[in-house]
Amino acid sequence: MLKKAAGEIVKRKHVVAFTGAGISQESGIATFRDAGGLWDRFSPAEFGTVEGIIGVAANTPQKLISFINDSIASLSKASPNPAHLAIAEMEKRGLLDCVITQNVDNLHQLAGNDNVIEVHGNIYRFRCTQCSETIKFSRHDFLEFLNRAVTELNSRSFERIIDAMPSCRCGGKARLDVVMFGEPVQMIPESYSKIEGAKVVLIVGTSGTVYPASEIPRYGKKSGAVIIDVNPKETFYADIDNYFLKGPAGVVMPQLMEEIRALL
Ligand code: APR
């Protein structure tokens, strides 16, 4: 199965990778819906929506402090794993057109991919609530911001919490540029035009359960692409998969890359 999937990639090229939280699981970042995942430990209604976060900050700041400390713990240590590196190598070798990722952890860029479409935003980027200008943070500065947010939450002063948010040069306050539940997903037209031209859609580490991003690989199938799905468990794409490569991405992807190198 691995050899055949590698053969499709080498023969067809124009791979578009579609990734989810599972590809970063071996980098120490929890997935959302697995046992012990983020939504298993923190309620998505409280931590996956703007209203929920504001409510928790005002009423139960300790819960938000635990959520932030959990994020600091995983983000501060996270680095690209062999699955990210394999996808970066595919781009370097001219096999991959782009990565469309649901992740906000910046690990594809860190691994060396230049063509990355982030449909749920990027955790290291803020967007002004007044003029929509974006402000990029280094990981170090972002972690500093999170630590300051914990301090202000402990002060229980809402003004000081708002004051801790970065200011835009227009004078507006900036918020994290990540897509929360109920908010518009980013880069959808760009994603559809890329997936339309894909000859292979390489799905890695996603349950395929969150609309509208989850529809992107299906559109690729309709446009004639071969579907390769890498996951330890069967996904919602079982009905369109041409190849289901069962296993953790950090193990399967380097094996797939080895088969590809042998065919080049
Ligand atoms: N390698 C590959 N896949 C893995 C691994 C691994 N080591 N570990 C877990 N997985 C798989 C799980 O089997 C599951 O199919 O990763 C998938 C993770 O699914 P979710 O937790 O639902 O994450 P994702 O599909 O990325 O969620 C999509 O939901 O909450 C929103 O915005 C959030 O972007 C996220 C979106």
Query: What is the pLDDT at residue 200?
Result: 98
pLDDT at position 156 over 90 = no
Mean pLDDT of the chain, nearest integer: 96
Looking at 111-115, 140-144, 154-158, 231-235, which range is the least confident one?
154-158
- Which residues in 11-54 belong to E strands, given as ranges? 15-19
Give me ligand 1 centre to Cα 131, in Å: 33
pLDDT at position 158 over 80 = no
List the CATH code of the domain at 1-28+80-120+184-264: 3.40.50.1220
Query: What is the pLDDT at residue 58?
Result: 87
For the segment 56-84, the average pLDDT, to the nearest whole number, is 94
What are the residues facing 127 on neighbouring strands?
Answer: 134, 175
Of the residues 19, 23, 25, 186, which should be mutated to test ligand 1's pocket, given the most ligand atoms within 8 Å of the CB?
Answer: 25
Is the distance from CB of 179 to CB of 210 less than 8 angstroms?
A: no
Active-site residue 14, yes or no?
Answer: no
Instruction: Indicate which residue's Cα is closest to atom 13 of ligand 1.
Output: 233
For the segment 52-75, the average pLDDT, to the nearest whole number, is 93
For the segment 242-263, the average pLDDT, to the nearest whole number, is 98
Q: What percentage of the chain exceeds 90 in pLDDT?
A: 94
Nearest to 117 by CA among 174, 179, 71, 181: 179
Query: What is the pLDDT at residue 111?
Result: 98
Query: What is the pLDDT at residue 257?
Result: 98
How far, CA to CA in Å, does 59 sit from each of 45, 52, 62, 161, 162? 15, 10, 9, 13, 15
Instruction: Indicate which residue's Cα is closest to atom 10 of ligand 1.
Output: 22
pTM value is 0.97
Residue-range domain boundaries for the chain: 1-28+80-120+184-264
